[in-house]
Structure 1
Amino acid sequence: MAPQSAAGTRLNKRGLETRARLLDVAIQCLADSGGEPVSANRIAKDAGVTWGTVQHQFGDLDGLWVAVISEIHSRSWVSDHVAPPSRGDTIRERVATVIDSVWTYLDTTEGRALTALRTSLPARRSDIAVEYPRTAAAFAARELDWIQGFDYLMDGLDLDPDKLYRVRCLLPAAIRGLSNEREIGFTSDLDIARTALTDAVVALLSQPGE
């Protein structure tokens, strides 16, 4: 379905070009923000349009952030699913693929933008749902993408479902933590840290059932 204005009207060619430019600028601003909040006014200014144009396209800030998340998802879907990552044969190969995939993605423009956007929103999910309900729903959908991707990469291994669930809950936060260290530079050897994380996850998954 072609993008529409916030009022539900069809966008002409110029409107579509403006929308695409706004999303490009928004994603780049977020990616380059260094953790600082990014306002809609700044995005409008950098895109060379008025706040009224942003409102026409997206309605409000909630609408803008939903469109940004959707655009990031569409870009990631194309790049990630043209050639799905090889699952490998062993637990270690599978776990390393999961960790390396997230690690690499978090350092892309889209990954940094998504992290910056989430950081700029209220810390509690319940507060996001109140202030930005559509954005909260979009983030929940992206979490489902992670669950499906993890299940795909671990499919076919005879492993304890409870341990897999615990690992699936752990890894996004653990890898983001290492990625944050990559940004601030306090931890010098992150390759060793990632290997240690892989070792720990493999050891957990390989333990006999409790």
Structure 2
Amino acid sequence: MREAVVEPSTSPEVSGSRRRNRRGELSRRHVLEAAMRLLSSGGPDSISANMVAKEAHVTWGTLQYQFGDVDGLWAATLIHILETAGPSIWARPSAGSVHKRIAEVIDLLWKALDSPYSAAVSNLRSGLAKDRFELERTYPRTAAALDELDENWALQFREFFDGVAVDPLRARQVIALLPAALRGLHAEMAYGSPVDSNDALAGLRNALTLYMTPPPA
């Protein structure tokens, strides 16, 4: 006996559900892009879910339905940044030496500091609790999303140096140091410091090359 063939449903109910899901996804993305714009502006009210709702022209009830609460909103915004920023910031290395790859990765990160993605993450971090225990208590999903961002950076850095010899311990230490060092220099430039950024970046490249290169056997 031949088995019955079940045809895919094309009922109005299914089609309507798909349209509703599509509209929901578009609405969610619209809110996340509004949140990122607001956060990257750095304004005094940028870290405000109510302001995000206003920027996105939606109600607070819509935000609750889509994200659950403020913690869910910020966590989703960070994941949105992670998913959209990577291709615009990271590139595959083109050089074969430690020194040139360090120069490339510093150049990529330095340019990324001027992106709205970087500004959004920095402004959100600045508005949240600095104590890790307090952050996890009040915004557990946001804390986890920030961890995911940091882990992604570490992975990208390690992969950037695939194929060249670097000291693994020192590379791990540079992963922790480099973003903070570049943010500090970038802030100095923003405040009108007389420091020559080209000289500072050249010194950083040379120092990290010496530090990350394994000692001769």
**Which TM bucket (shorter chain)?**
0.7 to 0.9
**Where in structure 2 are the equivalents of 1:165-184 lying within 5 Å?**
165-184=172-191
**Cα deviation, residue 80, structure 1:** 4.7
1:148 aligns with 2:134: no
Q: 2:83 aligns with which of 68, 74, 82?
A: 74
Report the counterpart of residue 8 of structure 2 in structure 1.
none
The separation in 2 between residues aligned to 1:115 and 1:149, in whole angstroms, is 19
Report the counterpart of residue 4 of structure 1 in structure 2.
none
The alignment's C-alpha RMSD in Å is 2.4
**Where in structure 2 are the equivalents of 1:84-163 lying within 5 Å?**
84-163=91-170
Note if contact 1:69-1:114 (Cα within 8 Å) is conserved in structure 2: yes
Report the counterpart of residue 41 of structure 1 in structure 2.
50
**Cα deviation, residue 25, structure 1:** 1.0
Matched to 1:171, the amino acid is: L
The separation in 1 between residues aligned to 2:65 and 2:155, in whole angstroms, is 35
5+ unaligned residues in a row in structure 2: which ranges?
1-16
**Cα deviation, residue 23, structure 1:** 0.9
Report the counterpart of residue 200 of structure 1 in structure 2.
207
Q: Secondary structure at the match of 2:193?
A: coil
Q: Secondary structure at the match of 1:18?
A: helix
**Using a 3 Å threshold, how does the CA distance of structure 1 residues 189 and 35 change in structure 2: closer, same or farther?**
farther
Normalising by structure 1, what TM-score?
Answer: 0.85
| Paired residue total | 200
Note if contact 1:87-1:153 (Cα within 8 Å) is conserved in structure 2: no
1:27 aligns with 2:25: no
The separation in 1 between residues aligned to 2:49 and 2:122, in whole angstroms, is 17
The separation in 2 between residues aligned to 1:166 and 1:34, in whole angstroms, is 33
Q: Secondary structure at the match of 1:12?
A: helix
The separation in 2 between residues aligned to 1:102 and 1:34, in whole angstroms, is 24
**Cα deviation, residue 75, structure 1:** 0.6
Report the counterpart of residue 186 of structure 1 in structure 2.
193
Q: Secondary structure at the match of 1:158?
A: coil
**Larger gyration radius, structure 1 or structure 2:** 2
The separation in 2 between residues aligned to 1:25 and 1:69, in whole angstroms, is 13
**Using a 3 Å threshold, how does the CA distance of structure 1 residues 209 and 133 change in structure 2: closer, same or farther?**
farther
The separation in 1 between residues aligned to 2:30 and 2:169, in whole angstroms, is 45
The separation in 2 between residues aligned to 1:92 and 1:180, in whole angstroms, is 25
| Identity fraction in percent | 37
